[in-house]
Amino acid sequence: MTTNSELLTQQEIADIRKPIGSARTLPRRAFYSREFYDFEVSELLTNTWMAVCFADWIPDSGDAMPLTVLGQPIVLVRNERGTIVSFHNIVPYDGCEVLMRPATGLKEFVTPYHGLTYDLSGRLTRAAFWNGTESGGDISGLDCNLVSIRCAVWFGVVFVNLNGSAESFEDYLTPVTDFYADYRLDALRMGRDDENKPIWHELKCRANWKTMYENYSPNVFHESFVHEMYRNSDHSPRVDGVGGKTYQEVVDERGFIGLQYDNRIASSFFGDLKSLPPVLRKDGSANPANSIINMYPNWVVTVLGDHARIAFMLPDGPELCTQYVATFFDQSVVAAKETTKDRQAALRLGVQARAEDNKICESIQRARRSPALNSQFFNVFWDTPHYVLTRMFLRLYLNKTRAGS
């Protein structure tokens, strides 16, 4: 077990804990060190709920998909009841994967190495020739069922807890569901193309997952410098004529961190998509406020006036992430031809913003290799979310390292 003296020095811990005006960020090695990354994977990320795919990747009963999450092979399948369930993608007998490539219309799994048969609940049902006969004989005593993984779905996104030790999904999601309690997010569906296929985008980013997390919604100051859509708006930077913020910070120390602002401002960023119906609140009124908010550890929810967006990132190592982005619209127009132009505009802007962000994240990641500075400082006016996020990371690290000391 890594100790806190190996992970962070006492001076670095003290500097992070200082008031925002004199505090420092995590040290640069926290963003590229293999030791740091391995600690995060084993002690932090496998212990919580992670967004891993969109439910529309396996839309029908019998659809299944293998994924690698934090280096672990898993398999997701939509069972006969239409529920998405997950297993470790390994056969207890031979150690091979249960499923090697995406599949549709499965009634059962037949494993590729020795032909063991599993139902979609992960129970071994047949092992042909196990005893030399075609039937395989009595296998009831074999301890060979698939190992399940806790799995949940919210707003079209599939979440897993790899080691089974996380709090309940409902408790984990509480900051999000409380914030959006008055929204009719259940009326939104992933946008679709002309062939009625769901649209999502994949983007690679050569940056540490925390570099990306810090950049997104916690960082408001960068918008007018990095993003074309914000540079073209009179509302960037997000201050009024006397230097007051034109947005509200959302800062929940459980990792729900971002911003909310008046919907009337948003049209100057995203344009006026007139053919799209508004995102509604439960009282039937149109959503008056836009929000862009991260949820620890790896996803961002964006709810705008007439569409919403989910992005999540899967770490592929200390300095590489794969990001997935999908945009959601009112279910009545997800494939309507009369809304195609505006839906395409919403999709384009969402992907463009993330591509611009990723370019900056890659620059930050390269710069972290410089020995000139071990860490950065905070802007008192803009950086409260980043400051709270950094202190949250410190708390998570210390909770684990002290437990192992």
Give me the sheet containing 84-88, strands edge to edge.
Answer: 50-54, 157-161, 148-154, 84-88, 72-78, 64-69
H or E element, residue 348? helix 340-367
H or E element, residue 84? strand 84-88
pLDDT at 3 over 60: no
Q: pLDDT per residue over 23-44, tens digit each?
A: 999 999 999 999 999 999 999 9
Token look-up 């992960």 returns: 122
Token pair listed for 227? 């993003």
Token look-up 């062939």 returns: 195
Q: What is the Cα–Cα distance from 70 to 163, expressed in whole angstroms? A: 12
Q: Identify the bridge partners of residue 188 per DSSP, sorted by sequence position.
A: 330
| Per-residue confidence band for 403, with pLDDT thresholds at 50, 70 and 90 | low
Of 12-16, 46-50, 278-282, 346-350, which range is least confident? 346-350
Token pair listed for 156? 């079209």
Q: What is the Cα–Cα distance from 99 to 249, expressed in whole angstroms? A: 44
| Per-residue confidence band for 218, with pLDDT thresholds at 50, 70 and 90 | confident
pLDDT at residue 268 in the model: 67
Q: Are 226 and 215 in contact (CB under 8 A)?
A: no
Q: What are the Cα distances from residue 385, in Å, to 74, 220, 282, 352?
A: 33, 9, 29, 24
Q: Identify the bridge partners of residue 250 per DSSP, sorted by sequence position.
A: 258
To 5 degrees, how large is the angle CA 43–CA 45–CA 49?
A: 130
φ and ψ of 223, to 5 deg: -55, -50
Mean pLDDT of the residues in the chain: 93
% of the chain at pLDDT higher than 90 = 84
Q: Are 94 and 109 in contact (CB under 8 A)?
A: no
- Classified as helix, coil or strand, 176 is helix
H or E element, residue 354? helix 340-367
Neighbouring CB atoms inside 10 A of 364's CB total 16
Q: pLDDT per residue over 235-285, tens digit each?
A: 888 899 899 999 999 999 899 999 999 887 766 676 677 899 999 999 999
pLDDT at residue 273 in the model: 79
Q: pLDDT per residue over 61-113, tens digit each?
A: 999 999 999 999 999 999 999 999 999 999 999 999 999 999 999 999 999 99
| Per-residue confidence band for 229, with pLDDT thresholds at 50, 70 and 90 | confident
> What letters, b where the CB count within 10 A reaches 16 and e where it falls short, cover 208-241?
bbbbbbbbbbbbbeebbebbebbeebebbebeee
Q: Are 85 and 150 in contact (CB under 8 A)?
A: no
Residue type, 386: H
Q: pLDDT per residue over 306-364, tens digit each?
A: 999 999 999 999 999 999 999 999 999 998 889 999 999 999 988 999 999 999 999 99
Mean pLDDT value across residues 46-52:
98
| Per-residue confidence band for 2, with pLDDT thresholds at 50, 70 and 90 | very low
Residue type, 384: T
pLDDT at residue 270 in the model: 67
Domains, in order of start, for the chain: 4-47+173-404 (3.90.380.10), 58-151 (2.102.10.10)
Q: Are 255 and 295 in contact (CB under 8 A)?
A: yes
Residue type, 325: V
Q: Estimate to the nearest angstrom the gap between the alpha carbon of 252 and the chain centroid.
A: 17
Q: What is the Cα–Cα distance from 367 to 275, expressed in whole angstroms? A: 43
Q: Are 129 and 136 in contact (CB under 8 A)?
A: yes
